[in-house]
């Protein structure tokens, strides 16, 4: 993480290097927050980094590129949804972190208008509206002749993602606007009107959703904001409808100035049109702003939905227009974030928790304490380095908070006893006893007993039976979760030795379903070696690496007995991947499970033909369209095992295009370039020589 301390080396070259690094970091965080809906740092940490970048750009004094995070809003659009351009830019808000910054915000506005509003006792003082800041997802709703036509996410502030079908499932958003709650005449509503607001998930809906996730063996959502964003960006609107989303309107874009002259009247008009709006307050001074901030901070725990601060806006629209905006935010509004509540408690002991991917994490078990309306008794310490940096040990007095108001974390220890020996990482996995390892340059400590570690079993089973792995159809997440939960399967080898007839009394497991499942398991015993290697879940070994290993060594036994020097000689396998492969097969627990798989009749099919023998060996091949007899991804995988080089696009370097049904532009491009074209019949002949 970047240091908050100033760097004494302020040469232009150093400043540029730090600026470039921060821009890359912030863009990655924007993508995680706005596109993936899975942020990995708190809002406060993001804002700190953004401010640091702003200060460095100012210090450098050079023109700031338009794509810098200080000049942009949101993140680039994903390819999942159709892009929709907003009629007016949907800007973000600048943040205030303390009373001084709020007072400076009010003072700048007074300075802008001189003596016109300088006397607070005047009959017409400057008025500010206070709105609770919802922790959700910004949406732009476009109405034409009073009818909802497009709903789009913020996106990059100019263009968002079309989520209209999903938005129509939210009860707080009207499909048709009306002048008020009783009159259906919408003549005073502009022909085009953009309504802005926040989609959010209530605390009750969030608890219900995570209860369903838990019952279905799925991962819970981290917080209501992530849950709301993920729910709104579903491809199936029926899933969105089941998530219980809500909406508060707070602003307008195109057409908005025709229905009100100030923010308080606008919210009243939007309510009359059928929108839900929040309770707001009008005040005249920064002292009143801060007073209401403190009141809302005290009330937030009892509110039915999450707020993470308050928003202050200059109420009058004409004055807003005169204040204007900077690149990414208006000058007439600011968000005042709540500080995370911090409390003191005692650590009883440090335990080591094994995650689903084998990462060993220290966790502090503490005297239960109330933090932000929630009782906390455990908090992650992330890794051994973080544990030592924060000086946490059994018996320590520590400060605890909920990061992002969600995840409990230990901030620091208080009055550290220097005589205490800090905890050391274990030598063996606390769940399975396998040895632990730590890759150079990484802070994470990992369990090497992947196949036999019970803490990782559910995740390994899901990966093992996946389509890219052993492709066992019918072995879904719910069934895996229950088999593991009831200790009916203790490692992946049990899949081939379990009596599936005993499942007949389980709900949804009829005789036909069980028969199909057993047939799928039987078929999986002879998958290609590359598929088997991928299914083992070796760290850093994806389909391409698994295919390269299978092609080079031919048999599983050769791979298990090889050395790192030989592995590094294989194209695309470097020292880190080689170390991971050697570590995996060196672990006795893993070798024992593999032997059990072999004893149960799992015999990965070895490659019989040398690569140079096949007519497609070394040739660049493009598959396009759909195929009746084989999945396209599976066909690409088999082509790799035969020495071909499947690629995604047609160019002058392409050797052959294999076209299935409904082939499109790739086939046209192949004809234009005079590239050889083959059909599915020829493909099957090549795949089964």
Tens digit of each residue's pLDDT (9 = 90 or more) over 190-236: 999 999 999 999 989 988 888 887 676 666 776 788 888 888 888 88
Q: Is residue 167 part of a domain?
A: yes
Residues 301 and 156 in one domain: yes
Q: Is residue 237 assigned to a domain?
A: yes
* CA-based nearest residue to 34, from 67, 77, 63, 71: 77
pLDDT at 184: 39
Tokens 């598959």 belong to: 623
Rounded mean pLDDT of 70-82? 65
547 and 680 co-located in one domain: no
- In 3D space, the residue among 231, 240, 362, 227 whose CA is nearest the CA of residue 306 turns out to be 227
Q: What is the signed CA dihedral for 69, 44, 81, 145, rounded to 10 degrees?
A: -90
pLDDT of residue 174: 92
d(CA 232, CA 226): 10
Same-domain check for residues 316 and 193? yes
Are residues 333 and 364 located together in one domain of the fold?
no
Q: How confident is the model at residue 457 (pLDDT cuts 50, 70, 90)?
A: confident
Q: Return the ∠ at Cα 117 (arms to 115 and 123), rounded to 5°.
A: 130
Whether pLDDT at 79 is above 70:
no
Q: Read off the pLDDT of residues 296-310 as tens digits, 9 standing for 90 and up.
A: 988 887 889 989 899
Question: Do residues 173 and 226 share a domain?
Answer: yes
The mean pLDDT value for 556-568 works out to: 88
**pLDDT, tens digit, 9 for 90 and up, residues 362-420:** 999 999 887 765 678 888 888 888 888 888 999 999 988 875 555 688 888 888 877 78
- CA end-to-end span of the chain: 54
Range 317-333 average pLDDT: 89
**Centroid of chain to Cα 437:** 27
Do the Cβ atoms of 375 and 342 come closer than 8 Å?
no
Span 166-177, pLDDT tens digits = 999 898 999 988
Torsion angle (degrees, nearest 10) of CA 249, 254, 258, 260: 30
SS (H, E, C) 227-239: HHHHHHCCCCHHH
The answer to whether residue 80 is domain-embedded is: no
Q: Of 322, 337, 352, which residue constitutes the final position of a domain?
A: 337
621 shares a domain with 594:
no
Position 532 in a domain: yes
Q: Is residue 110 a part of any domain in this protein?
A: yes
Alpha-carbon gap, residue 329 to 306, rounded angstroms: 23
Query: Between the CA of residue 644 and those of 277, 469, 568, 677, what are the distances in Å?
Result: 60, 20, 21, 15
| Confidence category of residue 119, pLDDT binned at 50, 70, 90 | very low
* Residue 590: CATH number of its domain: 1.10.150.20
270 phi/psi in degrees, rounded to 5: -65, -35
**Count of the separate structural domains present in the chain:** 5
Q: What is the mean pLDDT of the chain?
A: 83
Query: Does residue 574 have a pLDDT over 60?
Result: yes
Q: How far is CA 289 from the centre of its chain?
A: 34
Is residue 225 a contact partner of residue 205, using CB atoms and an 8 Å limit? no
Upper half-sphere CA count for residue 178 (Cβ side, 13 Å) = 9
Q: Do 99 and 244 lie in a common domain?
A: yes
Say whether both 333 and 207 belong to one domain. Answer: yes
Question: What mean pLDDT do residues 529-549 have?
Answer: 86
Rounded percentage of the chain residues whose pLDDT exceeds 70: 88
Residue 90 counted as domain residue: no
CATH number where 681 lies? 3.40.50.10190
Domain boundary among 287, 317, 337: 337
- Based on the domain organization, do 41 and 110 belong to the same domain? no
Is 241 among the domain residues?
A: yes
**Residues 458 and 495 placed together within one structural domain of the fold:** yes
Is 608 in a helix, a strand, or coil?
Answer: coil
Residue range 129-153: average pLDDT?
93
| Domain harbouring 68, CATH code | 1.10.287.610
156 lies in the same domain as 197: yes
Q: What is the mean pLDDT of residues 98-117?
A: 85
SS3 480: helix
Provide the domain limits for residue 633. 611-687
DSSP state, residue 617: T
| pTM of this prediction exceeds 0.75 | no
Statement to judge: residues 186 and 268 lie in one domain: yes
Given this model, what pLDDT does residue 609 score?
46
Rounded Cα gap, residues 226 and 221, in angstroms: 7
With CA atoms as reference, report the closest residue to 521 among 479, 560, 487.
479
pLDDT value of position 74? 60
Band the pLDDT of 120: cuts 50, 70, 90: very low
- Token output for 663: 């082939």
Q: Are 290 and 53 in contact (CB under 8 A)?
A: no
As a whole number of angstroms, the distance between CA 28 and CA 30 comes to 5
Last residue within a domain, chosen from 390, 414, 438:
414
Q: Which residue has the higher pLDDT, 54 or 571?
A: 54
**Residues labelled as active-site residues:** 133
The confidence score (pLDDT) of residue 31 equals: 64
Task: Supply the CATH number for residue 389's domain.
Answer: 2.40.50.140
Report d(CA 676, CA 200) in Å as an integer.
53
* Phi, psi angles (nearest 5°) of residue 564: -65, -35
Stretch 617-637: mean pLDDT: 81
pLDDT at 247: 96
pLDDT-derived band at 599 (thresholds 50, 70, 90) equals very high
In a domain, 434, yes or no: no
């Amino acid at each position: 993480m970047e240091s908050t301390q100033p760097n004494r080396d302020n040469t232009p070259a150093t400043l540029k290097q730090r600026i470039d690094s921060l821009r890359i970091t912030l863009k990655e965080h924007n993508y995680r927050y706005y596109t993936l809906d899975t942020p990995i740092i708190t809002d406060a940490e993001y804002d700190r980094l953004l401010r640091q970048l702003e200060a460095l750009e100012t210090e450098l004094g050079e023109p700031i590129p338009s794509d810098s995070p200080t000049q942009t809003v949101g993140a680039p659009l994903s390819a999942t949804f159709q892009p929709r351009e907003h009629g007016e830019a949907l800007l973000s808000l600048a943040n205030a972190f303390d009373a001084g910054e709020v007072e400076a915000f009010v003072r700048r506005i007074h300075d802008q208008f001189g003596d016109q509003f300088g006397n607070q006792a005047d009959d017409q003082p400057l008025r500010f509206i206070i709105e609770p800041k919802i922790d959700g997802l910004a949406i732009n709703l476009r109405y034409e002749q009073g009818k909802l036509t497009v709903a789009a996410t913020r996106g990059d502030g100019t263009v968002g993602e079309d989520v209209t079908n999903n938005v129509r499932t939210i009860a707080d958003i009207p499909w048709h606007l009306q002048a008020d709650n009783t009159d259906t005449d919408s003549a005073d509503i502009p022909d085009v009107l953009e309504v802005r607001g926040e989609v959010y998930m209530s605390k009750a809906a969030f608890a219900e959703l995570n209860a369903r996730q838990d019952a279905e063996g799925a991962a819970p959502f981290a917080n209501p904001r992530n849950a709301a964003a993920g729910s709104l960006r579903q491809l199936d609107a029926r899933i969105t409808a089941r998530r219980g989303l809500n909406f508060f309107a707070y602003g307008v874009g195109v057409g908005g100035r025709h229905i009100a002259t100030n923010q308080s009247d606008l919210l009243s008009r939007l309510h009359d049109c059928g929108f839900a709006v929040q309770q707001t307050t009008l005040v005249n001074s920064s002292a009143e702003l801060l007073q209401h901030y403190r009141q809302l901070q005290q009330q937030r725990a009892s509110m039915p939905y999450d707020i993470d601060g308050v928003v202050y806006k200059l109420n009058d629209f004409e004055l807003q227009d005169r204040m204007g905006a900077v690149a990414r935010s208006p000058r007439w509004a600011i968000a005042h974030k709540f500080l995370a509540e911090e409390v003191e408690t005692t650590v009883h002991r440090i335990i080591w928790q094994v995650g689903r991917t084998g990462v060993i994490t220290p966790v502090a078990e503490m005297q239960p304490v109330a933090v932000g309306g929630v009782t906390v008794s455990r908090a992650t310490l992330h890794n051994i380095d973080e544990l030592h940096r924060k000086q946490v040990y059994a018996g320590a007095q520590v400060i605890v908070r909920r990061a992002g108001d969600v995840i409990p974390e230990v901030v620091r220890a208080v009055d550290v006893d220097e005589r205490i020996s800090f905890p050391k990482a274990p030598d063996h996995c606390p769940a399975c006893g396998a040895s632990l390892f730590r890759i150079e340059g990484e802070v994470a400590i990992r369990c090497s007993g992947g196949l036999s570690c019970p803490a990782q079993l559910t995740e390994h089973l899901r990966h093992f039976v996946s389509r890219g792995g052993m492709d066992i159809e019918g072995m879904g997440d719910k069934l895996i979760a229950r088999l593991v939960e009831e200790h009916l399967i203790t490692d992946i080898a049990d899949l081939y030795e379990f009596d599936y007839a005993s499942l007949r009394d389980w709900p949804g497991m009829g005789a036909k379903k069980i028969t199909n499942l057993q047939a799928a398991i039987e078929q999986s015993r002879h998958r290609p070696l590359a598929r088997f290697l991928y299914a083992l879940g070796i760290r850093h070994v994806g389909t391409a690496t698994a295919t390269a290993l299978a092609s080079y060594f031919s048999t599983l036994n050769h791979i298990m007995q090889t050395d790192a020097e030989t592995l590094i000689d294989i194209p695309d396998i470097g020292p880190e991947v080689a170390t991971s492969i050697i570590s995996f097969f060196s672990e006795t627990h893993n070798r024992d499970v593999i032997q059990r798989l072999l004893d149960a009749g799992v015999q990965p099919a070895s490659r019989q033909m040398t690569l140079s023998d096949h007519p497609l060996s070394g040739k660049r091949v493009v598959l396009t369209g759909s195929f009746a007899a084989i999945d396209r991804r599976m066909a690409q995988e088999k082509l790799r095992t035969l020495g071909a080089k499947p690629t995604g696009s047609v160019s002058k370097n392409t050797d052959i295009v294999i076209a299935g049904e409904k082939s499109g532009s790739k086939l046209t491009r192949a004809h234009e370039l005079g590239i050889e074209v083959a059909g599915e019949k020829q493909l099957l002949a090549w795949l089964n020589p």
